[in-house]
Every structure is written in C-alpha cells, then in structure tokens.
Structure 1
Amino acid sequence: MTEQPRAIDEMNPDGVPRKVLFVAGAGRSGTSTLAGIVSKLGMHVPLPEVPPDDSNPRGFSEPQWVVDVHDEWLKEALVQVSDSRPGAWFETGRICSREPARIRVSEWLEPHFAEHPELVVKDPRLSWFLGLWRVAAIRTGATPVFATMLRPPAEVVGSKQKYYANKLGSAHLAASWVNMLLHTERATRPAEGDGGRVFVRYEDLLTDWVRTTTALGHALDLQTIIHTRSDQIREVHRFIDPNLRRVTSTLDDLALPARLHDLTAETWEQLNKLADEGGDTPDAHATFDQLREAYVDLYEEAEAISRSTAEHARHQARRRALAEAEAAEPTRSLADRVPHDVRAAIPPSVRRGVRRALGRERDATGGDR
C-alpha cells in the first residue's frame, strides 16, 4: 500500500509557508504531550529524537541536537535547567546575542524544511534561548510561533521530585517554576516577524485534545493542524492517555514559605487567564511585569539573608575537592604538593633540612633516597 499524501499537499497545492512551532514551558508540564500530538498530526520533529525512558515512556518528541546544544550553552553560562535566579536570564541572554550561535542554529534549521515546511521544536531548556531561536527561524524565512504549556505548579514540582529524584526541595522547584514561566511569558510576547502565541492548559489537552489542538492550529495558522487527516487523528487518540496526569498535588501540599506560596498562586492564576479567549491583553502583560518585579524582590531578599549558607556550601565544596585530590594521589608527598614557585623561594639550606627531617635526602644524581 502506498503512503497517503500529506493532507497539506492535498489542501494547499501551492505550498505552505515555512513555520516553526516552539513548544515552551517548565519541564513536566505537558510539553512532550503537545509536541507528540502535533507531530502525529503531521508536523515534523527534526531527527534524531531523544529516545523514550521511564519518565516519559511515550517519548519526548524533542530533537537530540537541540537538547545537546542547550546543555552545552547552559553549562557555559553556569545555569541549571531549573534555575530560580532571576539573574540567570542575563547569563543565557549573552549567548542569545552572539552572532555565531544564531548562525549555528539557522544552519541547523534550514535543511529540515526539505522534510516539511512546518517544524516543531521542543525542549524544557528552550525558554532560556527563545530570543536566539526567534532570530534563527526568521533568518531561514520561517515564521516563529509559540505554545506555552500550563500545568499547576504543585503538579510540576511533584512530578520532578518523583521522576528526577530532585533533592533541592519544593521551595526551590516552585521558585524555579515562577522564574521560568514569568520569563517565558515575557519572551513570547508579540514581536516583529512573529506569527502569534498561545497558552495551553495541560488539563484541557488531556480532557479534549481535539478541540484544544484545533484551536491552537487556527490561532497560529498551522496548515498541518488545520488540514489533518482522519488516520492521523486516530493515531493521536491512541497516543493520548488520560492517566498521563499521574501527579495531582496541590500548592498547599508543598508547604512553601508564605510569600513564595502567594506569588506562585498569583502567577498561576494570571497564567490561566492567558489560556482563555481574549485573555492575552496589554493589561495582562502589565500584571506579569509587576509579578516579575515582585519575584526579583523576593529572591534578592532571600539571597541577601542566606549569604552564610552560600559561603558554607562554597567551603564544603572546596574541602571535598581537596579530599578527592588527595585520594587520587595518595603517594604524593607533602613537599610535592607545594607549588613550584613557593618551593623555589625557600633557601636551599632550609629545603635540605626539611628533606633530612622527612628522610628524603637527595642522592648524588639529584633523586630522593
């Protein structure tokens, strides 16, 4: 049996303009589910993909190259995937502004349009580099569009703790969620060359994926979604599992500090409004600007009074590094560990006296006896 022609080829014989759907949001918020749906409806995930694992047995629907390059840049910037520092955005922003990085991403995107005119790029690290990807997509002649997944923060935190064995605690994970979502909202606001953005509730996607995805397709003018085939729809029905929502914690379960609890709750309430028709307004943007300012204030206050903890952690790390170095070279003498320039400044007579005391006098050849 021959493969059915793509629906967009049948409905749009004159061709489909290039477009890249960037699926953003915190990890464990349903980004893999949305990317999986649109890919099964015909949009193209650049290959090779990240393979499934126990945390996501149905697959991640994310390109391996994208994950690798993001890991490389985050390591360079000293930024964690779930970083709660407001200042972390400045560190990744420096990479986003680099011309070689923009060229690198544009050159990676270009050949994938030969496979399909509408691509989907998803990775939990994506929000850190959205500005770079926007520029790179436009340079290839494609229109960037954005979909941000919304899942209750307590469920995101609980899922990360369950599947990633995160040891940083609920407060850190909740703060990193606030930091990530507030920045993602700001980074996806309409800009020249964009094709729009949507916010998708994870619950809506699981409850009625057809209605939710159809609305997304029309809002972002994604021809692949608008003109999908019935066999593709059946495939998504087999893919969607209502039991995907395996963590159902509430914010009260996290026992967060009071101000962080209130800020997290307010951020979630306002984000939900963006998912409603007509909710993405200038007034809403102003509210998010205020929430970002409130988060920066909260973080700076917490940072200011926790310097002793940070300093203690630094000393602990230094002590561990020294212990590991000594364990790796157990036979190395104490004298050998003294830097060369320091040893050279010690008078020869003193060095000879130390060697005699240690039983390490040099022989006629200059070696230790």
Structure 2
Amino acid sequence: MPMSSTPLVLVSGSGRSGTSSLAGTLKRLGLHVPQPEVEASETNPRGFYEPQWVIDFHKRHLKELALFNIDSRPAAVQLVADYLASGETTAELREWLSGQLDADQVVVKDPHAFWFARAWEEASKDLGADLRWLTALRHPAEVVGSRDIAYLSSQSDELRLTKETSNVAGWVHAALLTEQAGRASRRAFVKYVDLLADWRAALAPVQEQLALSFDTDLASTDHHPVDDFVEPSMRKSQLGWDDVATPDWLKDMAEEVWQLLGVLTTSPHDEATLARLDEVHADYTARYADAVALTFDHTKAESTLAAREARDTQRSTLQQVRRDLEQARRAGSTPLAQTVGGREAAAILRRAVVRRITRR
C-alpha cells in the first residue's frame, strides 16, 4: 500500500462553531481540500469547504447508527465503537483517503468527524499520513441559540426548555468527545471570535502547534485573500446564557467546558486542564444516567403510545384497503381486483403502511 507523510488536518467541532470559516481560511493559505466540495447554499453562501465524499460517508454511517451530530447520549460512544469493530468502515475510509494525499498539505472539515476518530486514526496510520486535529470553538450559548432561539421564541416555555436543554447537553458531550479524540495527536484549538477579529493572530499559534506551512507570513500586514473572506460581521449570533432556557447546572457545566477548552488554545495538552475535563465528563455521564432514570416512566409511556398509534394507523389503513378492494371486486373494475387476493393485497399494502409510518 502506498505510504505518505502528508499532513492531514481534520477540522472538527460543533456545527455552527466556525468550522467552515476555519477550513476556508486554511484553503486560502495553501492547504488542499479534497474535491468535489459541498456546494455553498443560502444558509452558508461563503461555502462549507467540506469534501462531499466525507460528508456523505459520515452521515450515512451516523444514520445507520441512529445518531445525531451532537448526540447527548453517553452510550453513543460504545455504539460507534462496536460498529467500527468489524473494520469495514475504516477500510472504506482508507480506500478513499489513499487517493487524496498527493497534495503537500490536506485539510478535511466535517463536524461529524469526532464520532469516527478511531477510523481516521487507523486509516491515516495505515497510509502514513500525519493526522492533526484542529477544533473550532464557539461559545455554547451562541451555537445553541444561533437558529433555535428565533424559531422557539414563540413556543411554550416547556418546549424551549426541552429543546435547548437537549442542545446544550449535546454541545457539552460533543465538545468533550472532540477534545478526547485528538489527545494522542498534534492538535490545536481556535476560537471563532478570535479568527474573525484577527485571523493572523489567531492562526499564529495554530501554525506552530500543527507545524503547518502557509503561503504567507502571518507577521505581514500585506493584503491577503483571507482578508476578503473572514470579518467580524460574520458573527451574526451574539447570545448569552440569559437567552437560553436550560437548567442552571447544565449552563454551569457548559460554561466550564468552554473555559477549559479556551486554555487549550495556548496549551493543547495541558495536564491539569485535561484532568479537569475528565472529571467533568464523568460528572456529565452520571447526571445523564440520573436523568434517564428520572424519566423512565415518561419514556416508557411515550414508547407504548407510539407503538399503539402505529398499530392503529396500520389497522385502519388495511381495513380501508380491504373495503376498497372488495368494492372493486364487486364492480369488476380493475385487473388488480380480479387477480390479487385479499391476503396478498394486504401484505403489499402492509409494507406501504410501514413505510408511511417510518417516514412519519
């Protein structure tokens, strides 16, 4: 198998944390983004700078596992580990990656990447690529509130509390997992607000920590294409904890994680900070278990009612189908009515009903 010493920068972090801005900046500084890229959209007109293959790869496997990008469940970690155990997912990634390492430096951005850190590490090692993690940091209140606050502002306090609590918990979990993913590698962290305020100053420590080569001297003030790409006005959401409806203990935990990750921008492997992050992670896992236990009856009742609704929908639809088929037989109006028996028709339409319920 061909070997490569190509630096491979994996940009990760919670969605809406500035990962696109960070990857786009690195591309303008000379790093290569594997093609084709995800096209820009109305929600992100400046571009995503994500390899389409990587996005499809991560999303497909997350869907198979029924996981979300910032899934708050601690058990999700073991689900992914078990899923990767066969080696098939890693082999798929390795095959694609083997054709992407001809450039001097490669940057791959995808907020889903931390879930598959093991696959990236193994595939990179097999190919001799030098994997380096770069994490974009943005305050959790801004991440959670950038879109949800506007949508939920007219909703009930109960709905806001549920949705935003879930999102903050997801941010905490994703932040902790992303940090853990890069501990064994070269890595760097950069705050989104710092990148927009002064990208040269923000990326100077990143360049040193990741041992990257840029096409410009960051000490120079000469105009560079990045100057036309990033600017403070891109930070459209400037929210705080007063704008987010979630329990105080979770706000405090998210704020502490944010502050601890901030320390890693200057010292990516600070031992005291890593030890405290591990303590917070253990606390999060314990509190999540308490929450699951507290809501056991609620979850069980919701599951029972959902199953009952699905059965009722199926039964009602099949009964209507049988009536329609019987009416068609009597009228002799269709070839289907004359050749398909009730049991066969019911089986065909049962599958259709299941698909309908699944889509719901």
TM bucket normalised to smaller = 0.7 to 0.9
Helix, strand or coil: the match of 1:149? strand
2:207 is aligned with 1:217: yes
The residue that corresponds to 2:239 in the other structure is 249
Answer yes or no: is the 8 Å Cα contact 1:41–1:233 preserved in 2: no
1:203-248 CA deviation, whole Å, 9 max, x = no partner? 11001101212321222111246779x9996211111131111111
The residue that corresponds to 1:331 in the other structure is 320
Helix, strand or coil: the match of 1:148? strand
Of 65, 69, 79 in structure 1, the residue corresponding to residue 57 of structure 2 is 69
Instruction: Report the AA paired with residue 317 of structure 1.
Output: A
Distance 1:296 1:225, change over 3 A: farther
Distance 1:164 1:235, change over 3 A: farther
Q: Aligned ranges for residues 235-246 of structure 1 at < 5 Å?
A: 235-246=225-236
1:43-88 CA deviation, whole Å, 9 max, x = no partner? 1111111111222111111111111111111112121122111111
Question: Residues of 1 paired with 2:83 and 2:48: CA distance?
Answer: 25
In structure 1, stretches of 5+ residues that fail to align are 1-15, 337-366
Question: Residues of 2 paired with 1:118 and 1:213: CA distance?
Answer: 16
2:79 is aligned with 1:85: no
Question: Residues of 1 paired with 2:83 and 2:215: CA distance?
Answer: 33
Question: Residues of 1 paired with 2:16 and 2:71: CA distance?
Answer: 15
1:327: Cα distance to partner? 6.2
Of 258, 274, 297 in structure 2, the residue corresponding to residue 268 of structure 1 is 258
The residue that corresponds to 2:281 in the other structure is 292
Instruction: Report the AA paired with residue 46 of structure 1.
Output: P
Of 194, 204, 208 in structure 1, the residue corresponding to residue 198 of structure 2 is 208
2:296 is aligned with 1:302: no
In structure 2, stretches of 5+ residues that fail to align are 153-158, 326-340, 343-360
1:280: Cα distance to partner? 3.1
Answer yes or no: is the 8 Å Cα contact 1:214–1:225 preserved in 2: no
- Deviation larger for 131-140 or 91-100: 91-100
1:152-180 CA deviation, whole Å, 9 max, x = no partner? 00000012426998986110000000000
Question: Residues of 2 paired with 1:73 and 1:145: CA distance?
Answer: 23
Answer yes or no: is the 8 Å Cα contact 2:189–2:268 preserved in 1: no
Answer yes or no: is the 8 Å Cα contact 1:217–1:225 preserved in 2: no
1:279: Cα distance to partner? 6.0
How many equivalent pairs are there? 318
Instruction: Report the AA paired with residue 241 of structure 1.
Output: E
Of 180, 188, 193 in structure 2, the residue corresponding to residue 186 of structure 1 is 180
Over aligned residues, Cα RMSD in angstroms? 2.9
1:77-103 CA deviation, whole Å, 9 max, x = no partner? 121122111111111122333322212
The residue that corresponds to 2:137 in the other structure is 150
- Deviation larger for 150-159 or 129-138: 129-138
Distance 1:226 1:317, change over 3 A: farther
Answer yes or no: is the 8 Å Cα contact 2:197–2:231 preserved in 1: no
Of 111, 119, 127 in structure 1, the residue corresponding to residue 114 of structure 2 is 127
Give the share of equivalent positions with the same residue, in percent: 34
| Larger radius of gyration between Structure 1 and Structure 2 | 1
Instruction: Report the AA paired with residue 173 of structure 1.
Output: N
Taking structure 2 as the reference length, what is the TM-score of the superposition? 0.80
Question: Residues of 2 paired with 1:224 and 1:272: CA distance?
Answer: 24
Distance 1:27 1:46, change over 3 A: same
1:112-132 CA deviation, whole Å, 9 max, x = no partner? 223x13111111111111121
- Deviation larger for 243-252 or 31-40: 243-252
Question: Residues of 1 paired with 2:44 and 2:150: CA distance?
Answer: 9
